[in-house]
Amino acid sequence: MKKPLSKAERTKNFIIESTAVIFNKKGYAGTSLSDLTNATGLTKGSIYGNFENKEEVALAVFDYNYGELTAMIQLQINVAITYQEKLMVYPLVYKNIYNDVSAKGGCPVLNTAVESDDTNSQLKDKAAKALLKWEKNISSVIAQGIAAGEFKEPKNIRQIALSMIALIEGGLMIAKVTDDPSSMDIVLSTVEGIILRMLVAPPADQM
């Protein structure tokens, strides 16, 4: 049985969940203390009684936003049967959740990476670790697919994984900044093509 959360833990979770969209939309620098108090209805003292400073809130919020996204993807990967289906989860999930992600300010990994690149080493480290984990997960599925005889071995597995990530994140950025969701569909079809071309026996229209 799960141990009930303490009052302090419940308050921290409330602060994180209440400010998640704000940080993702405005970024660390653009989010003010008044944004936090307005979103939570708590006083400055209540917020900083649970977090040392705004940066600590932002770091916890990144973990929350990233965790929400990856949990959704992992759930689909776990029920997928073939390795092709497991890789196809990425373009399919991002296609299905584009509107929701866009309404919440876009991909938390991309947003955090761009903002923190030269400004916040801790947030940059969080984004870097998320991207490296994503690359590792895709590479692992490709390697397992090769071992199972489902995929042809590409010249460079890492190149495939990084290309998929770059296309997905780039597609999100282009679609959001141009307000054109069809851009995302075009880019995701390229990701699907990359996956299909690895199959030992690709569909005739993909050869």
Average pLDDT, the chain: 90
- pLDDT of 207 reads 44
- What pLDDT was estimated at residue 97? 83
* Average pLDDT of the segment spanning 127-145: 96
Contact 108, 62 (CB under 8 A): yes
Q: For 91-124, what is each residue's pLDDT tens digit?
A: 998 888 888 888 888 888 888 988 887 888 999 9
Asked whether the beta carbons of 142 and 87 are under 8 A apart, the reply is: yes
pTM for the model:
0.88
- Across-strand partners of 121? none
pLDDT of the residue at 106? 83
Query: pLDDT by residue (tens digit) across 138-194?
Result: 999 999 999 999 999 888 999 999 999 999 999 999 998 899 989 999 999 999 999
Distance between CA atoms of residues 179 and 28, nearest Å: 23
pLDDT digits (tens, 9 = 90+) for 50-99: 999 999 999 999 999 999 999 999 999 999 999 999 999 999 988 888 88
Q: Report yes or no: 4 and 15 within 8 Å, Cβ to Cβ.
A: no
Question: Domain spanning 62-206 has what CATH number?
Answer: 1.10.357.10
Cα distance between residue 185 and residue 22, in whole Å: 27
Domain boundaries, the chain: 62-206
| Mean pLDDT calculated for residue range 44-48 | 91
